[in-house]
Amino acid sequence: MSGTLREAVLRLVVRVLEPLVRLLLEVGVGAGEMTRLVRGVYVRVASERMSRGASRPNISRIAVVTGLTRPEIRALLEAEPDSPPQYNWDRHRAERVLHAWCNDPTYFDAKGKPADLPLKGPKKSFAALVKIHSGHPLPGTILEELERAKAVKVLEDGTIRLLSRTLANAEYNAETLAAVGERTRDLLTTLVHNVTDPAHARFERTVASVTLDPHELPRIRRDIVAQGEAFLSAASDLLHWPGANVAPGEEPKVASRVGVTVFVFEEPVVVPPRKLSKAKSGKPKSPLRAAQRGGSGGF
């Protein structure tokens, strides 16, 4: 891979990761956890590419292409892909505080539940909790993050009460997030396939405008939804026509998973002002340039 192409791929990765990282930060997943997940995916995909029917993955070859050590590869291959291991040291710092508050008896009340904590104090305080379990020297910064996520509440007497065991917003649910993962994977799979095998590209088109009047958005959204629903209804009829689908039998049969997704993306932008010409800029013309453009001066 040339340097230019490699740089283009890395820029692509950055663009793809931006919305995902926003979600990860929102639910309290730190960079360390994300790094571990990425390493696990690297090992699994490399193993699938290189196995070619072999009963055991070639750890040495996986180490060559991923840059990981052999012991780490073995550990990642043994881990369950759908249940990544949790390591408290690489978690979001605010998540570490919540986890300790809910699991360390030092911060429990007489009933064995997370106690309301004073902000400052040598032992049983929020500042002590943050210092020991987050590694961050400023408890106020952690408190701001926890308040933003509505995971804690500062009471009238100044003590801090735990409201949630996690930064994850209660509006998220496993089914919704699973659907996001599947649709994102499908779109990226199609885009990568079209780049790597353009001779057999799958249909993918995008139309967009960067100058839409925000006041027109409600009407445009409504019309696109109506047209999208009509298109998807027709596509569903095509995909589920009995004559085009494999009927189950006594033996396994080869089939294809095919689908269509229609989505609308929106992002605020600023339309730059029109550039004024020099003639309209209001600056006085130079007499010499005026003469050169045809001002004869009577000669």
pLDDT band at 294 (very low <50, low <70, confident <90, very high): very low
Closest C-alpha among 9, 19, 13, 15 to residue 183: 19
pLDDT confidence of residue 79: 76
CB 36 within 8 A of CB 90: yes
Identify the residue with better confidence: 52 or 185. 185
Q: What is the DSSP letter of 108?
A: B
pLDDT confidence of residue 209: 94
| Rg for the chain, CA atoms, rounded | 29
| DSSP reduced 3-state for 117 | strand
Query: Hey, what CATH topology would domain 93-162 get?
Result: Arc Repressor Mutant, subunit A (1.10.10)
pLDDT band at 296 (very low <50, low <70, confident <90, very high): very low
Closest C-alpha among 144, 129, 126 to residue 96: 129
Encoded tokens for 49? 């590419």
Q: What is the pLDDT of residues 119-169, one digit of tens each?
A: 998 888 999 999 888 877 788 888 988 988 888 999 999 999 999 887 775
Burial 100-134, CB ≥16 within 10 A → b, else e: bbeeeeebeeeeeebbbbeeeeeeebbbbbbeebb
Q: At residue 273, what are phi and psi to the nearest 5 degrees?
A: -65, 155
Q: What is the DSSP letter of 185?
A: H
Least confident range of 1-5, 25-29, 268-272, 292-296: 292-296
Tokens 């929106």 belong to 266
What number is the average pLDDT over the span 176-188? 88
Strands, E assignment, 123-276: 152-154, 160-162
* Percent of the chain scoring above 90 in pLDDT: 42
pLDDT confidence of residue 76: 87
Encoded tokens for 289? 């340039």
Tokens 């690489």 belong to 90
The Cα–Cα gap between 284 and 287 comes to: 9
* CA distances to 176, 208, 225 from 211, in Å: 32, 9, 20
DSSP notation for 39-75: HHHHHHHHHHHHHTT-SS--HHHHHHHH---HHHHHH
> Which residues fall within 8 angstroms of residue 222, CB to CB, at 6 or more apart?
none
H or E element at residue 219: helix 217-239
The Cα–Cα gap between 143 and 160 comes to: 9
| DSSP reduced 3-state for 204 | coil
pLDDT band at 295 (very low <50, low <70, confident <90, very high): very low
pLDDT confidence of residue 167: 77
Q: Which amino acid is at 239?
A: L
The Cα–Cα gap between 213 and 229 comes to: 24
pLDDT confidence of residue 82: 58
Q: What is the DSSP letter of 153?
A: E
Q: What is the pLDDT of residues 186-225, one digit of tens each?
A: 999 999 999 999 999 999 999 999 999 999 999 999 999 9
Closest C-alpha among 138, 139, 62 to residue 101: 139
